[in-house]
Chains A and B, each alone.
Chain A
Amino acid sequence: MSKRSSRRKRKEQARKQAARQTGPVLTQQGKTAFSQANYSGAIEAWEQARNKPDAAPGLAAALAEAYFRRAVTNPSPSLADLQQAVELAATDSHYRYHLAVTYHGHNQAEQAEPLYRQLLAESPPFRRAALPLAQVVVEKGKDVTADPVWSHLSEEEQEALSAILALSQNQPAAALLHLPSGQANCLWRGLAAFALAETATASQEFEKVLDLPDLHPLPRSVARYYLGVLAAQADQTEPALAHWQAARNDGLDTPQLRRNLAILFYQQALAEQQTGHPSQALELLDRTPGLNGHNDSPNLDLDGFRQQLNLEAGYADAQQGDWPNALRHWQAAQEAGDNSRRLIINLALANEQLGQFGQAAELWREALRRRPRSADHPDALNDDQVARLWQHVAESYSKADNYEQAITTYRNAVKWSPDNIDLRLHLVDILQAEGRWQAADNELERILEKKPDHIPALTRQAESYESEGYLEGARRIWQRVLETEPQHPVARQQLAHLFAREGVNYIMWGWPDKALAIFQEGIRQVPDDPILHAYLGSVYSDLDDFDQTRHYFEQALALDPDNLATIHHIFLSWINHDQLDEAQQILERIKAFESPAPAGFLLELVDGYDRADLDDRAWKLLEFIEHLYPDEPEVLLAIADRLVIDEQEARAAGYLRRILRHNANHAEANLRLGTIYYSMGQTRLAKNHWKTAEQQARKENDMALLAELEITKNALMHGIVPPAGRLAGLLGNMPPELSGFLDELKNYKK
């Protein structure tokens, strides 16, 4: 069925249904709803039925009753419904009376009064209107006894109203004279007794009020209020508080109740505050919502007290290391208007403790701006303190990675304490870290103008020159440091490093003589640096002067017998110059180490043999390494790789399985073993290992291994071999001694 025909069908059904809604049907629907107390449903049906030609005769009266019932079953009776009921049944006093009462209850006495009077003027008079009308007269402050309504009241009502009138005019003694006996008047007796300071009687009468059945909550809340006053006068704070809170919950909202409740909470909070419990005091104040800001409690300064409590609670929390709560309290105090310098300092400290350095920096800045300017002020800061605070601001910015602001504020700090060299050095450090070398150099010059031998400034200047590639300048500065402090360890190390770097450059450029000279100069200036001796020895070996080589190598080893970088360099030098006995001696020296050399270092020596095509020696060394590190995956992998090259795949697989016995997911071992299995035609096994390798490599984010796996699989399974990289070609063409030299230099710098 199409959408259009479906819509047409629905419309047709609705039309037919409407046609079926005749007056009797609707009337019956309304009756059903009415009997189920669904007065809205009844009203809806009967309102429709009224417009039908065949409307039932009693429909208007029924509808009026439905409106009446809906009105009075509402917690706040609806004026509109009652007006509707009155309109539908204009001659019915009952509905007009309830409309008047509802007006009265909605504080519209001027609407209620004429209705009440009309009702009383009827014949016979609608007597129920007399008492509420009399109440309206009393509320208006008029003499009810002179009003025509008086004659419609019963004798008992007249007596009670006379008493109430007297009470409302603050004549309690007169009120007591008029009050008839009986439970119904216990509230008025209680109020009169209270006004006459007859507290016991008042209390008894008010207690009776609480027991009265069907009493509206408002008169009961008045009784509760005065019971609370009596309790408070007897210093019974808890009962007073209970009565007043109950009165408030029952809808009493007089200024005196708000004021007394506020005072009571305030007193309790004050007691907590004075015993050092500001948080508990705050909780008490928080139980007084709606009590703040009323003009009827002007002397309490609840807001000011709350602010004070937040300051105290924050201070207590901070002292206990609870900085999140301290910050919360102080922020509340600030939001409430406290903008004092002391609060700003505390906020800054709290933000710092919570790692919010950006906010802390801004707050410290604000604290600086607000510092007392008069030197006589107890919190006055001297110039050094101002500088120190600016420095602290800068440090906070720096921790917040806001280096621009950090530099600006460090400059402010320097302005306040221009002779503070440490401060200026901090500025230099951050300028250098930001790569602002020239600005850093300028600051360093200013320091060195004042203190030419200031070593921290000199070291920073040397670092600055070196990072700019001005090696000679850097060397000169390090030399200057050593003139002042000959044993300065960093200067010695850096100077040796610079000589080494320069010497290696000369070797690369093919100028061994110049390299020789620079290494010799380096040794002259840093005579105890082993690597310079080793390098110098290497240059002599290039020049085939093996006596000098031996001399400098021995010196290097004597200076630092355990320096692996030196030993590595010497070992390779001997191998590269075919001095295998000398290399063997170095190896023996390594083997004699008390604690074995690291596996990685030993494997690099194997590489040295490999580069010189010394297979047998490489194997012997590998066997030694395996003996030292039988379970080290790096070693087992290296052996497996060599076995594969020697076409001993089955043995290689054994080494790889040894790795997997300890770690079944080892990515590299799985890759290699998969490759071996593939070459043996065991495709399924190969793929399983490759899968494990891939999963592990992804887990470890090892992109290099993933690439290797991809290349291996492509090559073996699809015959796709990647072209040799340009970089690989270049490295392949590099002389082995030079690439070894470069590697060592890298390690040396580390």
Chain B
Amino acid sequence: MTDQRKGSTRLGEREPNLQASNPYAVLGLDKTADQAEIKRAYFALIRQHPPESEPENFKLIRAAYEKLRTEGRRAETDLFLLQPPPAWHAADRLPAIDPAFYPSDVLLALRRWGSDLGRTDFQDEFREIEL
């Protein structure tokens, strides 16, 4: 009974993705689901996608279930599953924009401000030659 409750919670946790290559994802299960949960998820899904009206979807569900149906098959399936990336919690340590005024910027601007240091055109300083 406990298992059943646990299973029904898990089934609702993930949306089944019939197109996924991962059979757990097809059945909408976590990789830690037990055999009873797998079976329950399978039967719930084939009630939603009966073979008579949705034969293609049924095939996908059935194929996924076949890969997990027994402990032995599941052990084999688990060996060759794509490994999802680990979780990333970058947002927790995201630094904020630095809004400070930097006096050093004043000196930087000064270097090219107001004097000949900022000039790029010296045509008017050219002198005629006398030869």
Task: State the A residues within 8 Å of B (CB).
Answer: 27, 31, 34, 56, 58-59, 61-62, 65, 69, 72-73, 75, 94, 97-98, 101, 104-105, 128, 131-132, 135, 138-139, 157, 160, 164, 167-170, 172, 184, 187-188, 191, 194-195, 214-219, 222, 225-226, 229, 232-233, 240, 252, 254, 256, 259-260, 263-264, 266-267, 270, 273-274, 297, 299-301, 305, 308, 311-312, 314-315, 318-319, 321, 342-343, 345-346, 349, 381-382, 384-385, 388-389, 392
The interface bits of chain B over 83-103 (1 if a CB of A lies within 8 angstroms of the residue's CB, else 0) are 111101011011111111111
Residues of A within 8 A of B107 (CB): 138-139, 168
Chain A residues near B82 (CB-CB < 8 A): 315, 318-319, 346, 349
Chain B residues with CB under 8 Å of chain A are 20-22, 72, 75-76, 78-80, 82-86, 88, 90-91, 93-122, 125-127, 129-131
Contact between chains at B95 and A263 (CB < 8 Å): yes
A interface secondary structure, majority? helix
What's the minimum C-beta distance from B85 to chain A, rounded to whole angstroms?
4
Q: Which of B20, B90, B97 has the most CB of A within 10 A?
A: B97
Given A215-B118, A270-B94, also A56-B127 (CB < 8 A): no
Q: Which residues of B contact A75 (CB under 8 A)?
A: 120
B118-A384 in contact (CB<8A)? no
Say whether A139 contacts B110, CB under 8 Å.
yes
Known contacts A233-B97, A254-B102, A274-B91, A345 near B110 by CB under 8 Å = no
Residue of A nearest to B122 (CB): A72
CA distance A381 to B83 in the complex (A): 15
Contact status B83-A342, CB under 8 Å: yes
Query: A292: shortest Cβ distance to chain B, in Å?
Result: 15
Least CB distance from A198 to B in Å reads 12
A191 to B101, CA, bound (A): 8
B110 adjacent to A164 (CB under 8 Å): yes
Assembled-state Cα–Cα distance A311/B82 (Å): 11
16 of the cross-chain contacts (CB-CB < 8 Å) are A62-B130, A98-B125, A128-B115, A164-B106, A164-B110, A170-B103, A172-B101, A191-B101, A216-B118, A218-B118, A222-B109, A259-B98, A308-B88, A385-B79, A388-B76, A388-B79
14 new A-B contacts at CB < 8 Å, known A254-B108, A256-B102, A273-B88: A34-B129, A56-B131, A94-B125, A98-B116, A160-B114, A168-B104, A215-B118, A222-B109, A229-B97, A263-B95, A270-B94, A318-B82, A346-B83, A384-B72
CA distance A273 to B91 in the complex (A): 11
A315:B84 contact, CB within 8 angstroms: yes
Q: Across the interface, do A392 and B131 meet the contact criterion of CB distance under 8 Å? A: no
Decide if A256 touches B75 in the complex (CB within 8 Å): no
Chain B nearest CB: distance from A303 CB in Å? 12
Question: With the chains together, A138 CA to B80 CA distance in Å?
Answer: 68
A219 / chain B contacts, CB cutoff of 8 Å: 109, 112-113, 118
DSSP majority for the B interface? loop
Whether A270 lies near B108 (C-beta < 8 A) is no
With A138-B107, A222-B109 already in contact, the answer to whether A382 and B75 are too (CB < 8 A) is yes
CB proximity of B88 to chain A, nearest CB, Å: 5
Distance A252 CA – B75 CA, assembled complex (angstroms):
58
Docked-complex contact A139 and B79, CB < 8 angstroms: no
Cα–Cα distance between A167 and B88 once the two chains are bound (Å): 43
Q: How far is the CA of A215 from the CA of B84 in the complex (A)?
A: 54
Bound Cα distance A225, B104 (Å): 13
Q: Would A254 and B93 count as touching, CB distance under 8 A?
A: no
Partner of A225, one of B20, B93, B105, B121: B105
Which one of B82, B94, B113 has the greatest number of beta carbons of chain A within 10 Å? B113
| Pair A300/B111 contact, Cβ less than 8 Å | no
Are A319 and B21 in touch, CB under 8 angstroms?
A: yes
The reply to whether B91 and A263 contact each other, CB–CB distance below 8 Å, is no
Q: Please, how many angstroms separate the alpha-carbon atoms of A217 and B102 in the complex? A: 18
Contact flag A69-B126 (CB < 8 Å), given A139-B107, A308-B88: yes
Query: Residue on B with the closest CB to A222?
Result: B109
Q: Which 7 A-B pairs have the closest CB atoms?
A: A216-B118, A342-B83, A311-B85, A216-B112, A62-B129, A219-B109, A195-B101
